[in-house]
Amino acid sequence: MNLKKLHLFILVFTLTLSTFAQTRNLYMYAGSSLLSYKGDLSNKFNQWSGGWHLGIQNRSNKRLYTEFQFLHGQVSASNPNYTFVENNVPVYPNTFFQSTISQTSFLIHLQMFKKYKLQFHPYIGTGILFFKSKDIYNNELKSQVTTRAALEEYNTSMIIVPMGFKMVYNFSPKVSLGLVWNAQSTGDYIDNISKWGTNNKKDKLRTIQFSAYFYLTSLKKQEKIESTNNVTN
């Protein structure tokens, strides 16, 4: 991750803490992720790569949860036989890619089911995704203009709309475990193939996340405790 992305994440995370810290049901979470890609070089989500994520969640509203999340991981695919015909002439885009992905999202969850210690809720959100795609020799594809159509524009960041479902098991009011299935479109450049693509749809990502949630004492609660201690002293 470069410094620009790191600074953006620190800024968003700091603003989130300062905003959410006034609530009484604030949770921090972290965990591992599995990511998969579907696009011109793979018509199925058949290859999964590892990643990690962390975030902060506001559970003050019993039906609507809000959260900020940062995700970092990789996706890759290969199709050695991939070619494209332009004006009756075969052209040869890259047949392999590996993309490093960094993503910051704001999500809204609707709690639809709760029984005993188990919760189930869909969610939707918005965010920004950065990526860096490389070839099989670990060289950046952005600078390899011969792998794309002439004068084709190329962007390594995009606005995203993640959506999915989450299942949470609450061991106690302060500790939970979560399982998330997430889907989102990612523009058309994750695999470095757009105009020379045979798939008219945008590239897609699927993510499965495993998370551990931990309750954070809010600033309001902490201030009340400190105030009580001062009066007692």
pLDDT per residue as tens digits for the range 10-63: 556 556 555 555 556 889 999 999 999 999 999 999 899 999 999 999 888 888
pLDDT of res. 153:
80
Minimum mean pLDDT among 119-123, 140-144, 200-204, 228-232: which range?
Answer: 228-232
Closest CA to 176 of 16, 20, 28, 50: 28
| SS3 state at 62 | coil
Contacts of 205 (CB under 8 A, 6+ apart): 35, 36, 37, 38, 75, 101, 182, 183, 184, 185, 186, 190
Q: Which two tokens stand for residue 13?
A: 């995370």
Q: Are 206 and 176 in contact (CB under 8 A)?
A: no
DSSP states of 175-205: EEEEEEEEEEEBTB-TTS-STT-S--SPPEE
Helix spans in the chain (H): 3-20, 219-232
pLDDT of res. 24:
64
Question: What's the whole-number mean pLDDT along residues 188-199?
Answer: 89
Per-residue pLDDT reduced to its tens digit, 65-123: 899 999 999 999 999 999 899 888 899 899 999 999 999 999 999 988 888 889 999 99
pLDDT of res. 22:
57
Task: Give the whole-angstrom CA distance, residue 185 versus residue 68.
Answer: 19
Task: Give the whole-angstrom CA distance, residue 183 versus residue 163.
Answer: 6
pLDDT of res. 12:
61
Report the percent of the chain where pLDDT is more than 90. Answer: 52
Per-residue pLDDT reduced to its tens digit, 207-220: 999 999 999 865 44
Q: Are 51 and 71 in contact (CB under 8 A)?
A: yes
Residue 155 or residue 190, greater confidence: 190
Tell me the domains of the chain and their CATH numbers. 3-232 (2.40.160.20)
| SS3 state at 47 | coil
The alpha carbon dihedral of 108, 113, 119, 120 has a sign of: negative
Q: H/E element holding 133?
A: strand 118-134
State pTM to two decimals: 0.82
Question: What's the whole-number mean pLDDT along residues 158-187?
Answer: 92
Question: What's the whole-number mean pLDDT along residues 194-201?
Answer: 85
